[in-house]
Amino acid sequence: MDLKILWPGKTRDPALRTLQSEYLDKIARLGKCRVIETREARGVSEKDPGRILDIEAAGLEKHLQGEHLVCLTDRGDMMTSRQFAGFLEKTSLGQPYPITFAVGGFLGLADRLLKRAGTRMSLSKMTFSHELTRIVLLEQIYRALSILKGLHYAK
């Protein structure tokens, strides 16, 4: 399994950053997964959300090739953890590129990225902060790889 995760900027909350490293370490034992922190729209007024989304989309697009893109969005489909594991297994078959996840900043992702996505995915009906979303995604990737390897990973 070869996975790539893109999100704008570093995770700022220190505890969430610690969790991020912990999950990436656990995931590394089961598969290949790297996080790329793309360009953040710093110093742009929040009154201009279109511009923030545009700058961040350009930063994310730099790292896209012909891969299967999974965009995380409130308007995406929900899966159970087992369905997500099955999705990763199926989607990675015969792929020359890693499956690539894009997680937006505090405004989410630009429409043009959502349109480009092979899969639009939602982690919950609830809205999570964008930094917590990163952690929940990593936990689900770890859980999915554990399921695929037949490992016991408790609730």
d(CA 154, CA 93): 27
Per rule CB under 8 A, is residue 118 in the interface with a second copy?
no
Q: Which is nearer to a second copy, 98 or 142 (CB)?
A: 142
User: Closest distance between a second copy and the C-beta of residue 91, in Å?
Assistant: 17
Q: Which is nearer to a second copy, 31 or 104 (CB)?
A: 104
Per rule CB under 8 A, is residue 56 in the interface with a second copy?
no
User: Closest distance between a second copy and the C-beta of residue 120, in Å?
Assistant: 15
Q: Which is nearer to a second copy, 97 or 128 (CB)?
A: 128
Q: Which is nearer to a second copy, 49 or 54 (CB)?
A: 49
d(CA 142, CA 129): 20
- Among 7, 84, 87, 101, the residue binding a second copy under the rule CB under 8 A is 84
User: Closest distance between a second copy and the C-beta of residue 66, in Å?
Assistant: 28
User: Closest distance between a second copy and the C-beta of residue 96, in Å?
Assistant: 28
Q: Indicate the pairing of strand 69-77 with strand 32-38.
A: unpaired
User: Using an 8 Å Cβ cutoff, are 140 and 81 in contact?
Assistant: yes
Which segments of the chain are extended strands (E)? 2-8, 32-38, 69-77, 99-102, 119-121
- Among 30, 44, 136, 148, the residue binding a second copy under the rule CB under 8 A is 136
Nearest to 54 by CA among 109, 131, 106: 109
DSSP assignment, residue 108? Answer: B
Taking CA atoms, 143 is separated from 71, 99, 111, 153, in Å, by 19, 16, 29, 7
Kindly list the residues in this chain that would bind a second copy in the complex (CB under 8 A). Answer: 13-16, 18-19, 22, 78-81, 84, 104, 106-108, 123-130, 132, 135-136, 139-140, 143, 154-155
